[in-house]
């Protein structure tokens, strides 16, 4: 009896962990059987697991730092990237910039366009390019929020993990800023929101 109980428990574990297979009878020479292929997407990959879609995991920049010289030249970071850690391909659906803390948006261009503005006007002209794609920039509408990218464009697409050359894209950005009468350090003048979606076949 002591030996029988462990054997039964072991068999129970085997049957619990096994994958059920279905059989079709072929009883004639040259006969055939059809076997449909069933797919279940689950949290842990088990046949009877909790249904779940593929997990999305994408890293976007947590900050877009920049510095303005005393002559009005703006320097930006050159190492900002969006990285796809997901199994599937993704794309940047949209990019929106919103002015913060009393600042407003203005048209991006040469810094000379802001040289005639009153000091401390707190205006920002901003441009962004993703993955070497077309540059998108703020305009002269003077609104506090502007959508720079409204649909995926060249550069916004990333393949899934396992393809290092295609699973990340560079985020290049530029800016012009009105003159400042006092020094500032890490002042939050705007927020950029990246919306990420699956790159579907549809």
pTM, whole model, 2 decimals?
Answer: 0.84
In the chain, what are the domains?
A: 58-198 (2.60.120)
Q: Within 13 Å of residue 66, how many CA atoms lie on the same side as its CB?
A: 21
Q: Within 13 Å of residue 121, how many CA atoms lie on the same side as its CB?
A: 16
d(CA 90, CA 196): 7
Q: What is the pLDDT along the chain (202 residues), one digit of tens a residue?
A: 555 444 444 545 544 555 556 677 899 999 999 999 999 999 999 999 999 999 999 999 999 999 999 999 999 999 999 999 999 999 999 999 999 999 999 999 999 999 999 999 999 999 999 999 999 999 999 789 999 999 999 999 999 998 989 999 999 999 999 999 999 999 999 999 999 999 999 8
């Amino acid at each position: 009896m002591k030996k029988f109980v462990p054997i039964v428990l072991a068999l129970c574990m085997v049957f619990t962990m096994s994958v059920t297979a279905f059989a079709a009878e072929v009883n004639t020479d040259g006969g055939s059987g059809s076997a449909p292929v069933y797919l279940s997407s689950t949290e842990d990959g088990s046949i009877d697991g909790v249904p779940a879609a593929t997990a999305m995991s994408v890293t976007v920049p947590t900050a877009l730092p920049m510095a303005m010289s005393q002559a009005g030249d703006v320097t930006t970071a050159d190492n900002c990237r969006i990285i796809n850690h997901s199994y599937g391909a993704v794309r940047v659906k949209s990019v929106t910039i919103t002015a913060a803390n009393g600042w407003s948006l203005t048209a991006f261009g040469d810094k000379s366009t802001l040289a005639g503005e009153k000091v401390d006007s707190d205006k920002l002209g901003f441009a962004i390019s993703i993955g070497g794609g077309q540059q998108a920039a703020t305009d002269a509408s003077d609104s506090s929020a502007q959508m720079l990218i409204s649909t995926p464009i060249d550069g916004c697409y990333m393949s899934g993990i396992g393809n290092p050359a295609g699973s990340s894209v560079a985020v290049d950005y530029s800016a012009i800023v009105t003159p400042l009468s006092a020094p500032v350090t890490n002042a939050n003048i705007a927020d950029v929101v990246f919306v990420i979606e699956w790159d579907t076949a549809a």
